[in-house]
Amino acid sequence: SLTVPSGSTTAVVGPSGGGKTTLCNLIARFWDVQGGRITVGGHDVREYKLDSLMKNISMVFQSVYLFNDTVENNIKFGRPDATHEQVVAAAKAACCHDFIMALPDGYDTVLGEGGSLSGGEKQRISIARAMLKDAPIVILDEATASVDPENEAELQAAISSLTKGKTLILIAHRLKTVRNADQILVLNGG
């Protein structure tokens, strides 16, 4: 049993297979709980229509999926009605505007899951996507685990921008990533 206060940061740590990702998937209602309940704003997540729940949650995963579409449309995925100016603002806040502009067609460059972007660049596009969506709850599932040291500082700056004033649930293994959390939850064996 746990409570994540609104506007706080909760770090979730523990060994592989301990239940960290499962917990986050249950919060986002990728699966329904078999017992007990998960509430958001005092309401059981099963009472929400999936669209309503997803408007309140942004997720950034360790393994980023990019669609076979333009950079701009990949960023707009969570908010398809966004303007180009809003996409660029989110990309700048996520520290990815410069490398996007260096791509052959800038924001019109077509990407795919294989793509030619580094892990850190894919992560920053995912963060730009989450920033543009601007949901009050942000779940980061080991978002910096596969990032090289050169990109980590930029990625951390992007995450700080993304999570300002939000409720943050953060799965991480690195001490420096979790040390400033308001609470740390240790999961082991579910």
Spatial CB neighbours of 120, under 8 Å, sequence gap ≥ 6: 147, 148, 150, 151, 152, 154, 155
Task: Indicate whether this model's pTM tops 0.85.
Answer: no
Confidence of residue 101 (pLDDT cuts 50, 70, 90): very high
Confidence of residue 113 (pLDDT cuts 50, 70, 90): low
How many C-beta atoms surround the C-beta of residue 60 within 10 A? 24
Confidence of residue 151 (pLDDT cuts 50, 70, 90): low
Q: Which runs of E-coded beta strand occur in the chain?
A: 9-13, 39-40, 43-44, 57-61, 69-70, 110-111, 137-141, 167-171, 183-186
Mean pLDDT of the chain: 87
**Alpha-carbon gap, residue 100 to 125, rounded angstroms:** 9
The position carrying tokens 């994540």 is: 4
